[in-house]
Structure 1
């Protein structure tokens, strides 16, 4: 409720035009990916609120499809995917009010789809898929790796996960349950602000927080190992806001053939 209220305030306190900027109208002009990065140095606008909501809904739909929604309710999933593309075009064309209305409709549709899937899952009245439709284990690993190492994970001086990254972890966890041979090495990082001892502790807390959420999402703790290296080994060198943004992260490595386990953890060879 809190996020939705903030979102509505952004929409209704802004001057929304009835049409897109010149040369950016028409639903056939754009075919967009559903993920919209928001850089730290950009001003917050109503479009960012829309893109944030849209990104979360897109991730939620992806997760439901992975859980079997497309098999049990194909017509509803087709409808959701069609509206998802339309929202993307509306946002790209500057049709803020239209996009906001469609996001409200999409939220209700996905909520209904989630309840329907929970029901058939509980009563075992739909043959849910037991594995992904990905072509190979290598492709599965690549998708998991991409989800786990998605950008924009943490705010400055914080180990709280961004909602967008939390959704990525939830989707990755679904795939990891289908690939028990993968174990995870989670390494925490910090940007170049603060002293070394503080950054070491902060990066460790980031790794622990990610491990905690993966455990909540169903990944057993014996499949996870964590480490922290503070501000060492940055993804990019520099002190600009956009560089610090990507250096505040965890890096997660898939271990395909883990060492023997002892006392609930990994034992080095």
Structure 2
């Protein structure tokens, strides 16, 4: 495969979640996110329609979009991106089933942007070449398993101290583990995306998001990852991963 097939996106949440995190009902979160069903509870004729029904419709549209991209070859051209999109799709389904509507709405915005970007990349690649299954399927499956492990390892809550670029000790351990895995698979590169919540000024949020993304890159390189394998970008508060309305 070519080099551009091997990028994984590392989303860095730049808002404090301690004290501001919502939780689903028992049995509707956690590891269940990896096994979401494709459907939801049916809408009864006498049931009033609410925001959750609109979110379910948006989820179905995102699922159809992702399925179409997979059929067009995204699974072969951008396997890591597809793995992460499927993870996010399952997470949104569990949030909807658990009644976490605000979290689901935020994740749907992120998913739509991710799928639009994937579609643009796929259109560009397929205009010049053809996406085809690899000659060694076992090797691809192994690499996708590593991407999935890295995704779950790095996309966790409480990565930073409140309103600071300082990394929490537990997340620092995750970065060390990720570096060890990445050094075993030199064909993988990391894109660190900084996000901020909607509180504070735009200038402050942009600076905070960029600073945190750069801090993650710094620690990855300290732990032994080549700097050229890590790139950073910042979305500021234009696409928050979490709502920032609650005091932390």
Question: Which band: TM-score by shorter chain?
Answer: 0.3 to 0.5
The structure with the larger Rg is 1
Please give the TM-score of this superposition, normalised by the length of structure 2.
0.42
Please give the TM-score of this superposition, normalised by the length of structure 1.
0.39
